[in-house]
A = this chain, B = another copy of it.
Amino acid sequence: MDSCETGKTAGIIIIGNEILSGKVQDSNSFFLVSELRALGVNVLRISVIPDDIAVIGREAALFSRSFDYVFTSGGVGPTHDDLTMEGIAGGFGVPMMQHPSLETRFRRRYGEKLNEAILKMALVPEGADVVDFDDNSFPLVFFRNIYVFPGIPRYLREKFLLVRERFRTACFFLTRIFLNAEESEIAALLNQIVAAYPETSFGSYPIMDNPEYRIIITAEARDRGQRDAAVDKLLGLLPKQIVVRVE
């Protein structure tokens, strides 16, 4: 495929005091951006916010209006600090409701061991729906364009991989140019190309401690031809001796 349609946008909300206090290092946002990128979805923002109903509600409503898809991580479970569902309900001004298929599932699974804490996990904002998997995986709850994932990395990954294909959209074409130079030496030249090829998005990253190259330039576009034209022009202007390789 030589050309891509304009893709979808997404925002990611990581919910949890444990991340903001340095007790746990978030790996879910990197997993999600990498997956979404490969699916052609353009992630425009990641927010890490506390376990606070009002903050969750405001962020969820803002992200839902701003992006095509919203992914949340964390704050689902039976304890007092699991506030994501209540936060979303508050942000959209809808009541909470016991979701019938979730409740049925819990009653079947836990039988006599069922208690209030487990039933709390069947409480969702009114209007939420679920994607059902097999009997072993807890369903994925979504509300409008907001997909609610658990914070435990293994569960988030398993669940995302089960639904990833529904988010596939257009692709990106990326070239990386490895240079042995200082950024300040090539900045003026790069700026010319950036201005001349507005459909191609350029990045310039200084690299430490590599014996071969000191900068990686990235050039990325949704259209292969546009990307190729921009890269060819840039390579034509760069001094030959600083170009280490092109990928």
Contacts and interface: CB of A to CB of B under 8 A. Distances in A.
A43 interface: yes
A30 B25 contact: yes
Contacts of A115: 184-185, 188
Contact of A77 (B26, B78, B183): B183
A203 B152 contact: no
Given A18-B203, A188-B117, A78 B23 contact: no
A80 B190 contact: yes
Interface stretch (A45-53, A138-146, A161-169, A237-245): A45-53
A30 B25 CA distance: 6
Given A46-B48, A203-B81, A33 B20 contact: yes
| SS of A interface (majority) | mixed
Interface stretch (A90-98, A125-133, A204-212, A222-230): A204-212
A25 B48 CA distance: 15
Interface string A51-95: 000000000000000000000000001111100000000000000
Contact of A80 (B30, B152, B191): B191
16 contacts: A17-B203, A18-B218, A20-B43, A20-B44, A21-B220, A22-B36, A45-B49, A45-B50, A77-B183, A79-B191, A80-B190, A115-B184, A115-B185, A117-B187, A121-B184, A152-B208
Interface of A: 14, 17-26, 29-30, 33-38, 42-50, 77-81, 115-118, 120-121, 152, 154, 172, 183-185, 187-188, 190-191, 194, 201-206, 208, 218, 220
